[in-house]
Amino acid sequence: MKASKTAAPVIEVASSTQPLAAVSSDAEYRYELSPDLVMLSDTRFAEAEAIRTVRTHVMARHMEDGRRGLAVCAATAGVGCSFTAANLAVALSQAGIATLLIDGDLRAPQIQTFIKPSVPTAGLKQCLAAPDRPASDFTHQEVLPNLSVMYAGGVAHDAQELLASEAFKRLIERCLRDFQFTIIDTPAAADVADALRIGSVIGYTLIVAKAHTTRSSEVAVLARQLQGDGAEIVGAVLNDN
């Protein structure tokens, strides 16, 4: 799916997230929305319709069975994992589902490139380092109608330890209770084991691949690894060039 060069819109909403620099329970943030949020585009109809098809599959085959979360995973970087996670989260919110989007990539966070806050913000990294604080302190509420976002909070050199902690498991359990649906973006599984850990905790995964780039053997290996760690695969998305 090709990126657009059109200007990104900016919206302004209230948020309860704690900035990195200071604590502010009622800070006001502005968000720059990438043109690659095709669900908000007036021109990228084919891509938006493809995301709606994924949304229909998730709602009909996943949510109706009482499942409330999904990790979006890819074998290698650069295949559109974050693109899929961000747009699927927007699509679900547009269907009236209270959705939380978490940037679980503590190696090279990407969600802020799709929904960029006006100032650096705390997120998953700080939330896991302060397990006694409520997750709401690190969550941007209602960035768009029905869509909340927990950013990565920057690169974490101890990412594996943070994600392996009981604090991460408790956080996900809380998010699954507080929101109708939670989507977690993950780093490439070929580089680090983070995606496998995230998938095993949330229980369900969506695999993203890219046409003419991702090898079928890479997808097969990732699928075996996820299933071996106890994560169920609900489907796969093939992005175009």
- Report how many domains make up the chain: 1
How confident is the model over 181-201, as a mean pLDDT? Answer: 96
Report if residue 5 sits inside a domain: no
pLDDT interval class at 62 (50, 70, 90): confident
In a domain, 134, yes or no: yes
Angle (CA) 37-233-145 rounded to 5° is 30
Residue 6 pLDDT exceeds 80: no
Residue 3 lies in a domain: no
Using the structure block, give the residue that is written with the tokens 């409520």.
134
pLDDT of residue 156: 95
Would you say residue 110 lies in a domain?
yes
Residue 13 has what pLDDT?
35
Task: Indicate the range of 18-22, 67-71, 166-170, 185-189 predicted with least confidence.
Answer: 18-22
Domain span at 56: 10-17+24-239
> What is each CA distance from 201 to 19, 78, 102, 198, 232, in whole angstroms?
27, 24, 14, 5, 11
What's the rounded mean pLDDT across residues 153-167? Answer: 96
Which CATH number is 62's domain given? 3.40.50.300
96-142 pLDDT, tens per residue?
999 999 999 999 999 999 999 998 899 999 999 999 999 999 999 99
Q: Does residue 1 lie in a domain region?
A: no
pLDDT, average across residues 20-44: 77
Q: What confidence score (pLDDT) does residue 28 get? A: 75
Residue that wins the pLDDT comparison between 39 and 66: 39
**Is 61 a member of any domain?**
yes
Statement: residue 181 has pLDDT above 50: yes
Q: Which pLDDT score, from 0 to 100, does residue 241 have? A: 57
Q: Is the residue at 75 inside a domain?
A: yes
